[in-house]
Chain A
Amino acid sequence: MDRQNRNRLVGLIFFLVLFPVLVMNVGAIGHYLDVMIFVGIYSLINMGLSLLMGYAGQISLGHAAFFGLGAYTSGILCTKLSLSPWLAMFAGVAITALIAYIVGVPSLKLKGHYLAMATLGFGVIVYIFFNEEVALTGGPSGFSDIPGLTIMGLNLNNDLYYYILVWSLVLLTLIFSLNVINSRIGRALRSLHDSEVAAAAMGVETSRFKVIIFVLSAAYASIAGSLYTHYVGFLSPSSFDLFLSIKLVMMVVVGGMHNIWGALLGTWLLTFLGNEWLHVFHDFDILVYGAILLAIVMFLPEGLIDLTPRMRRLWKGR
């Protein structure tokens, strides 16, 4: 790992340790810990999306479906079959990865808008499945009483413990992803993004690598789904609709999709905006979202992560 990544990692860990200390004892923002747990959960999905979109150059408007598949697998296996939550999480990853593989092989042959439509269609199908398979999923009203997570007898039903669990997984996934990015696999992905024909001429199996990264990103989303299920204890299809897929892509783009750190930054900002800071706008929050996205695309096409390098370039007059 190079120096910049290591510095950022140290900075992130520092922030994560300080955050609960600063926030927990302040009444008005005490619940920020809860928001940070959601930031962590969405960050897991968005790191995968960043690998897929920013590095490999493929789009997905169906990642809410993979998130939902993980969530529902965990929820169903834990309540209906009383399976251990950790085992259920693992099963969720296996099932989601398999489905991602089956969907990915044909749809990743498509490019651009067509791929966007294919993944969007897949997301809608899964959403309808959650709604209609009432016996399995509880239909539109969903189901509740999903047990929480425990580690060696320690119940994690406490925001601080859950915060530590989620963000530990985020950090592990981040390190894993950074390692992949800075390896022959990551170079293969970035090369096919820049020039697919040249990547193929270098012997990069372009379609295989697209599928690999699609499956990996689906697996990340599935883990996030399991964590979500056990945290909220309640599932309904509306948490996994098309709007979430779009919001996830938005977070990645706002943060800067060519950089996995951008995905984290965008997730953090838009989750806090959506869950907390935009409440003053009531139903008009979607307009504010749109305005933010527009502003970023127009003035900071490389995302928020590019803000300081850009300022520095402007300052130097380049």
Chain B
Amino acid sequence: MSSENFNTFLRVEDLRKSFGGVRALKGLSFTVNSGMIKAIIGPNGAGKTTLFNVITGVFPPNTGSIAFEGVSIDGRKSGEIARLGVSRTFQNVEIFSRMTVLENVMVGRHIQSRAGIISTGFRLLRMRREERQIQESAMEFLQFVGLEHRAGELAGNLPLGEQKLLEIARALATEPKILLLDEPAGGLNTRETEGLAVLIHRILDKGITVVLVEHDMNLVMDISDEIVVMNFGEKIAEGKPKQVKNDPLVIKAYLGEEVDYSNL
């Protein structure tokens, strides 16, 4: 037996991904333990969203491995990965805009339900019972994020802040073990961001591990247990918020190098 820490939930090892000549991930490794909030930060173009896309199977890595609960998931299809308990939200909100808010969350119940085309077409009793359950639990997830009053509206008509909450509700509806949030605070105002911090803690209280990509440093420093800092597809620092904040490499990546103006 290896001395694998049983708390290690998600293990990413030497992950590489290129798009043509662009090397978006250049051998990235890190682990996420169960029950923590891990943040991934870095300047634009650091490869954070690519990382999420590779983990959730939007596209396979070139090399490297991803293990979730000891099971290898790299190169698997999105649907399979979702069934194993990995769910996510998207940086550029990917809600189903022509469906109602409730229906969006009901899609999240897809893997928790089974009815096939015959039983739905003929509205068999089994299917009607399941449909009622889908609707009830979807409503509970809407209540969890505080959107129940919007249930009947078209999702495309919601303001951005509420669309982001809807994405979280939809992701939670799959009953994930780990939730990947891609810039959840992007476009939110201060008050909404404060609400988001509370919501993320409530998600953690449900026993769901959270990984977030975020640019809002106040939020990240405030809620994260650990932070991974990326730049140009590589990890340049990792650790507790305090350690990361004072890391010279991190400061350099964000602010650029110090220039001595006295010689000019």
Contact = CB atoms under 8 A, between A and B. Distances in A.
B83 A203 contact: yes
Contacts of B57: 200
Contact of B123 (A177, A179, A193): A179
B204 interface: no
A205 interface: yes
Interface in B60-99: 77-79, 82-83, 87-88, 90, 94-99
B79 A187 contact: no
Contacts of B116: 185
B82 A184 contact: no
Most chain A CB within a 10 A radius of its CB, from B83, B110, B113: B110
A235 interface: no
B93 to A, nearest CB: 9
Contacts of B162: none
Nearest to A190: B99
Given A183-B131, A185-B116, A258-B98, A202 B121 contact: no
A184 B134 CA distance: 9
Contact of B115 (A185, A194, A203, A206): A185
B96 A180 contact: no
Interface residues of A, number: 28
A44 interface: no
B107 interface: yes
B198 interface: no
Contact of B95 (A193, A198, A203, A205): A198
19 contacts: A179-B122, A184-B106, A184-B113, A184-B115, A185-B115, A185-B117, A186-B120, A187-B106, A190-B103, A191-B96, A199-B96, A201-B56, A201-B90, A201-B94, A201-B171, A202-B87, A202-B171, A203-B82, A204-B107
A186 to B, nearest CB: 8
B48 interface: no
A76 B113 CA distance: 42
Given A187-B107, A193-B98, 13 more contacts: A180-B121, A183-B120, A183-B127, A187-B99, A190-B96, A190-B98, A191-B96, A191-B104, A195-B94, A200-B77, A201-B94, A203-B79, A203-B83
A179 B174 CA distance: 23
A203 B99 contact: no
Contacts of B109: 184
Interface string B33-62: 000000000000000000000001110000
Q: Is the interface of A mostly helix, strand, loop or mixed?
A: helix
A184 B127 CA distance: 9
Contacts of B16: none
A200 B120 contact: no
Nearest to A206: B79
Nearest to B80: A203
B233 interface: no
Nearest to B108: A202
Task: Sort A-B residue pairs by CB-CB distance and give the 10 closest, nearest first.
Answer: A203-B111, A200-B78, A183-B120, A203-B82, A198-B94, A194-B96, A176-B121, A195-B94, A191-B107, A191-B96
A184 B83 CA distance: 16
Given A191-B107, A198-B90, A203-B110, A184 B120 contact: yes
B178 to A, nearest CB: 13
Nearest to B90: A198
Nearest to B96: A194
B141 to A, nearest CB: 12
Contacts of B108: 202
B88 to A, nearest CB: 6
Interface string B103-145: 1101111110101110011110001001100100000000000
Given A184-B115, A184-B134, A197-B94, A202 B170 contact: yes
A93 interface: no
A183 B94 CA distance: 21
Interface in A264-303: none
Contact of A179 (B104, B106, B120): B120
Given A180-B120, A180-B121, A200-B77, A187 B88 contact: no
Contacts of B96: 190-191, 194-195, 198-199
Contact of B110 (A188, A194, A195): A188
